[in-house]
C-alpha cells in the first residue's frame, strides 16, 4: 500500500505570466513563477447542515476522524485519493473548494457499506458519500447522473398526466443519456431483449404461425398509441400543478440555500 501524501503545492496555486518586464529586466516565462499562499481562510462553517439535508448525510457531524472508514474502504484499496474520512472532515469544517477538487472521484463509491459497518460513531459514511455526490450534482459541479435523469423524466410524466408511459420514459431516457436508440436496436442489448421477449427463435426455426400467434400485437399497438396521443389520467385537472408546487416547496425546505448565489 503506498503512503498517501498530497502534494503541498497545488498546481492551481502556481502562477506565471508569459510576458513580464520588471525594472527593465525581462523576466518572462518561468523566471516569474510565483506560488500563491496555500493558507485556507475561506470556509463555510454551516456547510455540514447543507449535507445533512440530503438523505444519508444526517450523521456527518458525529465524525471524530478515526479513519476506520477509509481503512476499510473498497475504493480506497484501488485509489488512495478516494478518502471518505478526509471528505467528511472537509464537510464538517466547510472547506468547500477542497471538496470540489475531488468531484470526479467522490461518486465512485460502490455502496458496499464496509465503512458503515465499521464506523464507531455511527456516521454512516456511505450515506455521506451519497449525500455529497448529490450536493455536487445539485450545485452543478458534476453533470446530472443517469438515475437523476431517469427520475426527472419519470416525475415529469407523473405530474403532467397522472400516469407514465414506460416506452416514452425509456425513449427519453435513452435520448438524454446520449444512448443511440438506432444502434441499440441494430445490435445492442435492446435488440437481444426484444428478440427473446418475442420468441424470435420460433421464426428462425420456421414456425411462423406459432411466432405470430404469440406476438403481443395488442400490447404493441397500445404502446404506439400512447406514444403518439399521450393520454392523461381522467379528471387530472389542476392536480399536476398542485403537485409540482408541493414538490418544489419540499425541495426548497430541505435544501435551503442550495443553488442560490450566496452558496
Count of residues binding ligand SF4 (CB under 6 A)? 28
Among 14, 16, 38, 194, binds other proteins (CB under 8 A): 38
Among 90, 99, 106, 115, binds ligand SF4 (CB under 6 A): 115
Residue 89 touches other proteins, criterion: CB under 8 A: yes
Residue 75 touches ligand SF4, criterion: CB under 6 A: yes
Please name which of 149, 157, 171, 148 lies closest in space to residue 244, comparing C-alpha atoms: 157
Cα separation of 16 and 32, whole Å?
Answer: 6
Name residues contacting other proteins, limited to 114-133 (CB under 8 A): 121
Q: First and final CA of the chain: distance in angstroms? A: 38
Cα separation of 171 and 250, whole Å?
Answer: 29
Name residues contacting ligand SF4, limited to 45-64 (CB under 6 A): 63-64
Cα separation of 21 and 43, whole Å?
Answer: 36
* Dihedral (CA of 200, 206, 210, 215) sign: positive
Cα separation of 48 and 52, whole Å?
Answer: 6
Name residues contacting other proteins, limited to 39-78 (CB under 8 A): 39-41, 43, 45, 61-62, 64-65
Residue 123 touches ligand SF4, criterion: CB under 6 A: yes
Cα separation of 203 and 259, whole Å?
Answer: 55
Please name which of 131, 148, 135, 143 lies closest in space to residue 257, comparing C-alpha atoms: 135
Cα separation of 128 and 111, whole Å?
Answer: 11
Residue 235: partners with Cβ closer than 8 Å, 6 or more residues away: none
Q: Which residue, 16 or 65, has its beta carbon nearer to ligand SF4?
A: 65
Q: Which residue, 102 or 160, has its beta carbon nearer to other proteins?
A: 102
Residue 11 touches other proteins, criterion: CB under 8 A: no
Kindly state the smallest distance separating residue 147's Cβ from ligand SF4, in Å. 16
21 phi and psi angles, rounded to 5 deg:
-120, 120
Residue 67 touches ligand SF4, criterion: CB under 6 A: yes
110 binds, among other proteins, ligand SF4, none (CB under 5 to 8 A by kind): ligand SF4
User: Interface with other proteins by CB under 8 A: which residues?
Assistant: 5-6, 8, 38-41, 43, 45, 61-62, 64-65, 86, 89-90, 92-93, 95, 98, 121
User: Interface with ligand SF4 by CB under 6 A: which residues?
Assistant: 63-69, 72-75, 84-85, 88, 109-115, 119-121, 123, 125-126, 129
Amino acid at each position: 500500500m503506498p503512503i498517501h501524501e498530497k502534494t503541498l503545492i497545488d498546481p492551481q496555486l502556481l502562477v506565471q505570466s508569459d510576458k513580464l518586464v520588471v525594472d527593465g529586466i525581462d523576466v518572462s516565462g518561468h523566471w516569474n513563477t510565483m506560488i500563491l499562499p496555500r493558507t485556507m481562510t475561506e470556509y463555510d462553517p454551516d456547510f455540514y447542515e447543507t449535507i445533512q439535508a440530503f438523505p444519508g448525510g444526517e450523521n456527518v457531524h458525529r465524525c471524530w476522524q478515526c479513519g476506520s472508514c477509509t481503512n476499510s474502504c473498497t475504493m480506497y484499496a484501488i485509489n488512495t485519493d478516494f478518502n471518505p474520512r478526509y471528505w467528511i472532515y472537509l464537510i464538517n469544517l466547510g472547506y468547500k473548494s477542497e471538496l470540489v477538487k475531488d468531484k470526479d472521484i467522490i461518486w465512485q463509491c460502490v455502496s458496499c457499506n464496509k465503512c458503515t459497518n465499521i464506523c464507531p460513531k455511527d456516521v454512516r459514511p456511505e450515506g455521506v458519500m451519497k449525500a455529497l455526490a448529490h450536493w455536487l450534482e445539485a450545485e452543478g459541479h458534476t453533470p446530472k447522473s443517469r438515475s437523476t435523469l431517469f427520475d426527472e423524466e419519470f416525475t415529469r410524466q407523473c405530474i403532467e398526466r397522472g400516469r407514465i408511459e414506460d416506452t416514452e420514459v425509456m425513449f427519453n431516457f435513452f435520448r438524454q443519456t446520449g444512448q443511440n436508440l438506432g444502434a441499440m436496436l441494430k445490435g445492442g442489448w435492446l435488440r437481444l431483449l426484444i428478440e427473446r421477449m418475442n420468441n424470435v427463435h420460433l421464426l428462425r426455426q420456421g414456425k411462423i404461425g406459432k411466432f405470430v400467434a404469440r406476438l403481443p400485437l395488442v400490447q404493441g399497438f397500445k404502446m404506439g398509441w400512447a406514444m403518439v396521443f399521450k393520454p392523461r389520467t381522467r379528471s387530472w385537472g389542476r392536480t399536476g400543478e398542485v403537485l409540482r408546487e408541493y414538490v418544489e416547496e419540499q425541495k426548497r425546505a430541505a435544501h435551503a440555500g442550495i443553488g442560490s448565489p450566496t452558496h
